[in-house]
Chain A
């Protein structure tokens, strides 16, 4: 197992290099000169000053050289200074990481807690109206644009009913540890973010449960005279859950990517919102740090998924 984990960690390196090349290429090939953008309208600036700034930021070298310069520092956690704020880009971004992690993990919990029971119920009540409602929801929950449903939720629960706050992570002036206040803030964004996953899980689990409950050992369990509840929860569910671990992969991608849009809709002060703001103001160091952090999150999630899969299913060869 330890060797497997080490090998998976090594596999992550070429992926991260690939991502860094991709992001570097996009940001450097973009039209528009960041130096000119940030000196625009500055009085008394000469052409020499612009050249000096350019060589100060290393923008006068060839692209591959710039990449080597950048990646050497990036490995050490130095993504350069934010053009907007002046401070180092990575710490600025990491300050926003807890907010994103909170949102994503609450959403993940909601997905599992709501999605799995829905799928099991749909499979057990197969062919009834309950099954049909859950199946319609499973397709619809996937097709609905999250920013639209977020907007409708804000209109309904925040503007009209005034039950929940429409934005932010905490009421301004409240204590950081005011848990009930935080919960009311996280409820809407995390549910909207979880929606696609809930739909997905219920769909997967319905198929898997149907698959499992038709197998011989389930009949045996019934024949032994076990109660229905223990057949379903002890025998069937445990096996139906194994393939779910692989389904986690794309869902985690949706969770991290989707959080960018949701953070925007609900003004959630996370990595996504910060990267979006940086992209709009062409703040290159922050953009690159943002994408690298989001991708690293995803790579780590994939890693955890693979390890979990190897642990859950002993049949997976851990060579």
Chain B
């Protein structure tokens, strides 16, 4: 009887005792208090939404469509009235603000999908190389060194020039080319982790290599993978837009931020204001992603926080 009343007597309700906050709860707490990261996330979500909802917004808000041209209204200056010329119009009288939203679709799609592929390949190979070591590690390291020694933009330009890839193929190629950084990171972490006691313990009870890699090592590496992912998406968007700027990105017809900038450069003398929005959008998107990456890093690993 004493055992039953004891907690109540001490005034502690056992059912509501707070479990010690874990890594993710701590990180989430820190993130919520990091104004810069919050602001960057809001801007990024806004850009994502405007791209995804581009057809709806174009029709409802700007009363136009992606393809509608007005050859009598070319090179309109930016104006609020009518709102479809918020960023002006180009040489075919197309609304720039609408084209910007559609351009975002390409950049963001390629960025996120290719980065996801990079992370998957990079983490897998990094775990395998770091855990199995030996000949497997040598082969993977050789592959990484080789890929790292070719300036990536050269590879992309040759590939695009020779294959004229669709947006999907381009995503695939970027997805299988940019993973070396992730592999290096995961491999290094795995090297260190595999010597720890809990891995030895897992081995003693007969866990398979696959199980140790994916159930024991991976969760320890995972938090910082998100940081790498955010930065990777930004880097890919920069590479894709450079490619589009050089006229080698997604096929013409699909607006992308990079190709809009090339276009703006050719009509610069008629409409200098066209140069600002596409570059600004790339800059803003990548900046937000890098800031989110930094914020995540600080939140997940406060020891690394500098300043």
The CA of A149 and the CA of B150, in the complex, are separated in Å by: 25
Min CB–CB distance A121 → chain B (angstroms)? 15
Contact of B142 with A14 in the complex, beta carbons under 8 Å = yes
A197 within 8 A of B: no
A253 within 8 A of B: yes
**Residue on A nearest B289 in the bound complex, by CB:** A143
**Residue on B nearest A148 in the bound complex, by CB:** B279
The CA of A146 and the CA of B238, in the complex, are separated in Å by: 9
Contact of B161 with A258 in the complex, beta carbons under 8 Å = no
B214 within 8 A of A: no
Given A18, A253, A276, A287, which contacts B151 in the complex, CB threshold below 8 Å? A253
**Residue on B nearest A131 in the bound complex, by CB:** B307
The CA of A44 and the CA of B175, in the complex, are separated in Å by: 45
Given B158, B241, B307, which contacts A126 in the complex, CB threshold below 8 Å? B307
Contact of B287 with A298 in the complex, beta carbons under 8 Å = no
Known: A264-B246, A299-B149, A302-B149. A139 touches B163 (CB 8 A): no
Chain B residue numbers with a CB within 8 Å of A207 are 306
B265 within 8 A of A: yes
B275 within 8 A of A: yes
Interface size on A, residues (CB 8 A): 53
Chain B residue numbers with a CB within 8 Å of A294 are 150-151, 154
B155 within 8 A of A: yes
A256 within 8 A of B: yes
Contact of A261 with B282 in the complex, beta carbons under 8 Å = no
B162 within 8 A of A: yes
Contact of B150 with A298 in the complex, beta carbons under 8 Å = yes
A210 within 8 A of B: yes
A285 within 8 A of B: no
**Per-residue interface assignment for chain A, residues 1 to 41, with 1 indicating a CB less than 8 Å from any chain B CB and 0 otherwise:** 00000000000001110110011001100111000000000
Min CB–CB distance B125 → chain A (angstroms)? 15
**Residue on B nearest A28 in the bound complex, by CB:** B162
**Residue on A nearest B138 in the bound complex, by CB:** A14
B7 within 8 A of A: no
B268 within 8 A of A: yes
Chain A residue numbers with a CB within 8 Å of B117 are none
B24 within 8 A of A: no
Given B157, B162, B234, which contacts A143 in the complex, CB threshold below 8 Å? B234
**Per-residue interface assignment for chain B, residues 271 to 294, with 1 indicating a CB less than 8 Å from any chain A CB and 0 otherwise:** 010010011101100110111001
Contact of B306 with A295 in the complex, beta carbons under 8 Å = no
Contact of B286 with A19 in the complex, beta carbons under 8 Å = no
Q: In the complex, which residues 178-227 of chain A have their Cβ closer than 8 Å to any Cβ of chain B?
A: 206-207, 210
The CA of A258 and the CA of B152, in the complex, are separated in Å by: 10
**Residue on B nearest A210 in the bound complex, by CB:** B306
The CA of A159 and the CA of B268, in the complex, are separated in Å by: 10
Min CB–CB distance A302 → chain B (angstroms)? 7
A260 within 8 A of B: yes
Chain A residue numbers with a CB within 8 Å of B267 are none
Contact of B158 with A144 in the complex, beta carbons under 8 Å = no
Chain A residue numbers with a CB within 8 Å of B246 are 261, 264, 276
**Residue on B nearest A32 in the bound complex, by CB:** B162
The CA of A276 and the CA of B161, in the complex, are separated in Å by: 9
Chain A residue numbers with a CB within 8 Å of B261 are 147-148, 151
Q: In the complex, which residues 272-319 of chain A have their Cβ closer than 8 Å to any Cβ of chain B?
A: 272, 275-276, 279-280, 282, 287, 290-291, 294-295, 298-299, 302
The CA of A256 and the CA of B149, in the complex, are separated in Å by: 10
A127 within 8 A of B: yes
Interface size on B, residues (CB 8 A): 46
**Per-residue interface assignment for chain B, residues 226 to 249, with 1 indicating a CB less than 8 Å from any chain A CB and 0 otherwise:** 000000001000100110011010
Contact of A261 with B245 in the complex, beta carbons under 8 Å = yes
Contact of B153 with A282 in the complex, beta carbons under 8 Å = no
The CA of A207 and the CA of B287, in the complex, are separated in Å by: 20
Contact of A19 with B306 in the complex, beta carbons under 8 Å = no
Min CB–CB distance A141 → chain B (angstroms)? 10
A117 within 8 A of B: no
Contact of A155 with B272 in the complex, beta carbons under 8 Å = yes
Q: In the complex, which residues 145-199 of chain B have their Cβ closer than 8 Å to any Cβ of chain A?
A: 145-155, 157-163
**Per-residue interface assignment for chain B, residues 123 to 143, with 1 indicating a CB less than 8 Å from any chain A CB and 0 otherwise:** 000000000000000000011
Contact of A261 with B291 in the complex, beta carbons under 8 Å = no
Known: A14-B142, A30-B163, A148-B283. A257 touches B154 (CB 8 A): yes
Chain A residue numbers with a CB within 8 Å of B162 are 26-27, 30-32, 279, 282, 287
Contact of A26 with B158 in the complex, beta carbons under 8 Å = yes
A142 within 8 A of B: yes
Chain A residue numbers with a CB within 8 Å of B234 are 143
Given B143, B238, B241, which contacts A18 in the complex, CB threshold below 8 Å? B143
The CA of A72 and the CA of B255, in the complex, are separated in Å by: 44
Given A26, A143, A151, which contacts B155 in the complex, CB threshold below 8 Å? A26
Chain B residue numbers with a CB within 8 Å of A50 are none
Q: In the complex, which residues 81-119 of chain A have their Cβ closer than 8 Å to any Cβ of chain B?
A: none
The CA of A14 and the CA of B138, in the complex, are separated in Å by: 11
Name 8 A/B residue pairs within 8 A (Cβ), A-sorted: A23-B158, A31-B162, A143-B289, A151-B265, A253-B148, A261-B245, A275-B157, A275-B158
Extra pairs beyond A261-B245, A261-B246, A279-B157 (19, CB < 8 Å): A19-B146, A19-B149, A26-B159, A126-B307, A135-B307, A139-B291, A140-B283, A143-B234, A144-B283, A148-B279, A152-B275, A256-B151, A257-B153, A258-B153, A260-B154, A287-B162, A294-B150, A298-B151, A302-B149
Task: Give A contacts to B, CB under 8 Å.
Answer: 14-16, 18-19, 22-23, 26-27, 30-32, 126-127, 135, 139-140, 142-149, 151-152, 155, 159, 206-207, 210, 253, 256-258, 260-261, 264, 272, 275-276, 279-280, 282, 287, 290-291, 294-295, 298-299, 302
